[in-house]
Amino acid sequence: MDPIALKSEFPILHQEINGHPLVYLDNAATTQKPRSVIEAIKRYYEWDNANVHRGVHTLGSRATDAYEGAREKVARFLNAPASRQIIFTRGTTTALNIVASGYARQTLREGDEIVITAMEHHSNLIPWQQAAKATGATLKYIPLQPDGTITLEDVEATVTAKTKIVAIAYASNVLGTINPIAKIAEIAHRKGAIIVVDGAQSTPHMKVDVQALDVDFYTLSGHKMCGPTGIGALYGKEQLLENMEPIEFGGEMIDFVELYDSTWKELPWKFEGGTPMIAGAVGLGAAIDFLEQIGLDNIHEHEIKLTQYAIERLSAIEGLTIYGPRKERVGLVTFNLGDVHPHDVATVLDTEGIAVRAGHHCAQPLMRWLKVSATARASFYLYNTEHDVDRLAESLVKTKEFFGYEPIR
């Protein structure tokens, strides 16, 4: 895999920011889009655009084929048994909300437990808080180890016979921790619970096989894997999806509508009320083609190497604190530079053309656990190189000199 050659496929990356060549290190927030994805969306709007599942005319059937073809690609990409188990959503947030509203609220009773962790993104935390409040269920947390990992002993101890749902990220967007999902799924199932996996940060970076992991629900966000914004997917086991009531009602999702009652279409369409994100699905399909051509294993290997290099380079900067495990992590490094506020760090880096994230990363409970109000985060993707990491490290040294920081003790 040649990241420099791949970078040439991304038009946006070839520009100067504040007089410096752009180094884009905010990929955990959203990735950039290759030419093939941009072209697929353009071609769709220039040639095929129509509404899906309704028109009998040629454009209508082309648009439907493109949309349903993208669903087939997502199913193959995740190794889902059937494309009817893939629901198109706006992203991971919507997908998790569908499960929390459609499954959790419909099945949980007072005294039931939902088990999550404090490393969850708000998208995999607030829907469960709300479901617990609405049903009388209890929210429980698997404790975090000092390096930001969890142990299987703690999973065994936290998940009980009362637990009905375990909801957890495959990879943390702050710590980079990769959770042992297959083993957690085994524990959850043995105790009679289902497992819901937030795949926003894993799907773009490593090969995912929902059958091998034996997860009940799995989510992804297209924009974090070279696809467009506004499109994502929810995978679910067929029986669970069959038993779930839709949560959005209207056009497209119905079978028969009477004056006082209605029936729903079969899977997956009963969950896709209204006109869907057709061009978004087409773009996501093109993104999957692009990623499959490179190979997810190659992408993962590249990011592991780059992250290890970044950890080495950044650790050498006096007073810089890196959070999260040193090994077994996805391609991001979350850090603080002494007592300099991360927003100031990100602002100075931007003057050097380097884009990093700063803030709470939609993980406020995790910030509290880290005992910080915010952090900076550099996150990598297939087009980043050691040169990008060098630019980051050099600019961080300049930032440190600029602020004359006090190291955090």
27, 32, 93, 395: which one binds ligand PLP (CB under 6 A) = 93
What mask, x for binding ligand PLP by CB under 6 A, covers residues 331 to 370? Answer: -------------------------------x--------
32, 101, 163, 221: which one binds ligand PLP (CB under 6 A) = 221
Minimum distance between the CB of residue 221 and ligand PLP, rounded to whole angstroms?
A: 3
Total chain residues near ligand PLP (CB under 6 A): 15
The identity of residue 87, as a single letter, is I
| Beta carbons of 370 and 323 less than 8 angstroms apart | yes
Is 202 near ligand PLP (CB under 6 A)? no
What mask, x for binding ligand PLP by CB under 6 A, covers residues 11 to 40? Answer: -----------------x------------
Exposed e or buried b for every residue in 20-33, given b needs 16+ CB within 10 A? eebbbbbbbbbbbb
Distance CA 254, CA 197 (A): 28
- What 8-state DSSP symbol labels residue 177? B
Distance CA 409, CA 407 (A): 6
Is 123 near ligand PLP (CB under 6 A)? yes
Distance CA 269, CA 306 (A): 41
Q: Smaller CB distance to ligand PLP: residue 17 or 29?
A: 29
Is 91 near ligand PLP (CB under 6 A)? yes
Task: Round the CA-based radius of gyration of the chain to a whole number and report it.
Answer: 22
The identity of residue 219, as a single letter, is T
CA distances for 390 relative to 264, 316, 394, angstroms: 55, 12, 6
Distance CA 11, CA 9 (A): 6
173, 179, 203, 384: which one binds ligand PLP (CB under 6 A) = 173
The identity of residue 207, as a single letter, is K
* Range in contact with ligand PLP (rule: CB under 6 A) among 58-66, 87-95, 268-276, 341-349: 87-95
Q: Smaller CB distance to ligand PLP: residue 93 or 384?
A: 93
Instruction: Decide: helix, strand or coil at residue 354.
Output: strand
Is 135 near ligand PLP (CB under 6 A)? no
Give catalytic residues, as residue numbers.
362
Helices (H) and strands (E) in the chain, counts: 15, 17
* Range in contact with ligand PLP (rule: CB under 6 A) among 91-99, 260-268, 326-334, 381-389: 91-99
Is 149 near ligand PLP (CB under 6 A)? no
Interacting residues toward ligand PLP by CB under 6 A: 28, 91-93, 121, 123-124, 169, 173, 198, 200-201, 221, 232, 362
